[in-house]
């Protein structure tokens, strides 16, 4: 196949989940609903935690960071897909595709690191409860998030720079609904050995560190819980980890499921459909998992929604009262004018 330098590439074509025009409105409605639920749910988590002083703890600080990352990851994928379906144009520019692929890498790695940091936080809270506030001080919490973000950005930039060195073939169709790095690399006519080695090393290194950190934390958590004398203490300890375990199982379970399905099937379209389970669904379900399984979160959300409803009602009543006062003043002015006119005529 004839190759061309990457500077001559102007755009790629995202084939999406299906080529059937009759299914496009259904896919558009489904992904729009999922995106709105993701944004509203995670935004409510952030606002509820910010407005409740009882939740200003390391655990909920990391949860806020996770919610913000979920919003960012979904925003880097879904809006472009919705626009393409709406305008019936599957094209994406070279720079846009490269940017989207880089952002997906950054937020994907950051999700891994944040889940590992949250596991470490639960380990300290259960295994060292008396030293928890000393160990998980605000400086360390901010440092852990900033280091995770910095590593994710460096990895994303490194992958993007490697892709910039590649040249591409004439066929520039990506069998996916967003610019995934592995699908992006398959279109090149250059030697991809070094790039593939880089991808596998970074995935194994940083993904392995995150998974190892989670496993290490929960091994010590289980060990500490089993040493507790009371069953009530064991239940309380496990309940504090329940939401995080559900999120970890959902995220890594769907990720491994997509990896296995891509190894079994040769259809890129089926792999794209399966990838919805790790790129969209976990970000949408995380707020429900943390709000439904956490009593403090439910109370904070209830207080926040009551406050919002009160403010909304106050502004409505204020607006109606202001409108009534304007109408009364206008009627009084008209009455005074008609009275003065009648006096002059008489």
Place of tokens 């699908």: 183
pLDDT at 109: 92
Residue 224: its pLDDT value, please?
85
Boundaries of every domain in the chain? 3-293, 295-330
Phi-psi region of 188 (alpha: psi -120 to 50; beta: other; left: phi over 0): beta
Give me the torsion for CA of 199, 202, 207, 209, rounded to 10°. Answer: 160
3-class DSSP state of 321: helix
Residue 259 tokens read as 């990896």
String of DSSP letters for 141-199: HHHHHHHHHHHHHHHHHHHHHHHHT--EES--EESSSS--HHHHHHTB-S--HHHHHHH
Homologous superfamily in CATH for domain 3-293: Rhodopsin 7-helix transmembrane proteins (1.20.1070.10)
What's the pLDDT at 146? 96
pLDDT for 2 equals 42
Give the pLDDT confidence score for residue 1 in this predicted structure.
39
Check: pTM over 0.75? Answer yes or no.
yes
What pLDDT shows up at residue 340?
A: 54
Q: What is the pLDDT of residue 7?
A: 45
pLDDT of residue 170: 67
CA dist 197 → 160, 204, 241, 328 (Å):
14, 10, 36, 77
d(CA 278, CA 108): 10
What local confidence, expressed as pLDDT, does residue 89 receive?
81
DSSP class of 229: S
What tokens were used for 232? 């009530």
Tens place of pLDDT for every residue, the chain, 346 residues? 344 444 456 778 888 777 777 888 888 999 999 999 999 999 999 998 988 888 889 999 999 999 999 999 999 999 998 988 888 888 888 888 888 988 999 999 999 999 999 999 999 988 888 899 999 999 999 999 999 999 999 998 888 888 887 777 766 788 888 888 777 777 777 777 888 888 888 888 888 889 899 999 999 888 888 887 777 777 777 777 888 888 888 888 877 777 676 666 666 666 777 777 778 888 888 888 887 767 778 887 888 778 877 777 766 666 555 555 555 455 555 455 555 554 455 4
Distance in angstroms (rounded) separating the CA atoms of residues 163 and 182: 10
């Amino acid at each position: 196949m004839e190759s061309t330098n990457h500077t001559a590439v102007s755009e790629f074509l995202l084939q999406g989940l299906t080529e059937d025009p009759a299914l496009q409105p259904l896919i558009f409605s489904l992904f729009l609903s999922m995106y709105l639920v993701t944004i509203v749910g995670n935004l409510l988590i952030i606002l509820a935690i910010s407005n409740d002083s009882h939740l200003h703890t390391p655990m909920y600080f990391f949860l806020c960071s996770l919610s913000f990352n979920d919003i960012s990851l979904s925003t880097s994928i879904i809006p472009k897909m919705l626009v393409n379906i709406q305008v019936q144009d599957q094209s994406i520019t070279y720079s846009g595709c490269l940017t989207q692929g880089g952002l997906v890498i950054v937020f994907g790695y950051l999700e891994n690191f944040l889940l590992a940091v949250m596991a470490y936080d639960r380990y300290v809270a259960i295994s060292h409860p008396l030293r928890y506030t000393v160990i998980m001080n605000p400086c360390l919490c901010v440092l852990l998030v900033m280091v995770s973000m910095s590593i994710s950005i460096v990895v994303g930039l490194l992958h993007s720079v490697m892709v910039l060195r590649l040249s591409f073939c004439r066929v520039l169709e990506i069998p996916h609904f967003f610019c995934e790095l592995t699908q992006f690399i398959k279109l090149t006519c250059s030697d991809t050995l070094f790039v593939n080695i880089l991808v596998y090393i970074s995935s194994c290194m940083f993904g392995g560190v995150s998974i190892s950190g989670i496993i290490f934390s929960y091994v010590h958590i289980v060990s500490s819980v089993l040493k507790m004398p009371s069953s009530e203490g064991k239940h309380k300890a496990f309940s504090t980890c329940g939401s995080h375990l559900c999120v970890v199982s959902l995220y890594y379970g769907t990720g491994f499921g997509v990896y296995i399905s891509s190894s079994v099937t040769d259809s890129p379209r089926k792999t794209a459909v399966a990838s919805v389970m790790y790129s969209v669904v976990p970000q949408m379900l995380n707020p429900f998992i943390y709000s439904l399984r956490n009593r403090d979160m439910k109370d904070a959300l209830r207080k926040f929604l009551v406050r919002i409803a009160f403010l909304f009602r106050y502004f409505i009543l204020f607006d109606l009262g202001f409108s009534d006062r304007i109408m009364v003043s206008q009627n009084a002015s008209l009455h005074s004018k008609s009275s003065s006119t009648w006096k002059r005529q008489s």
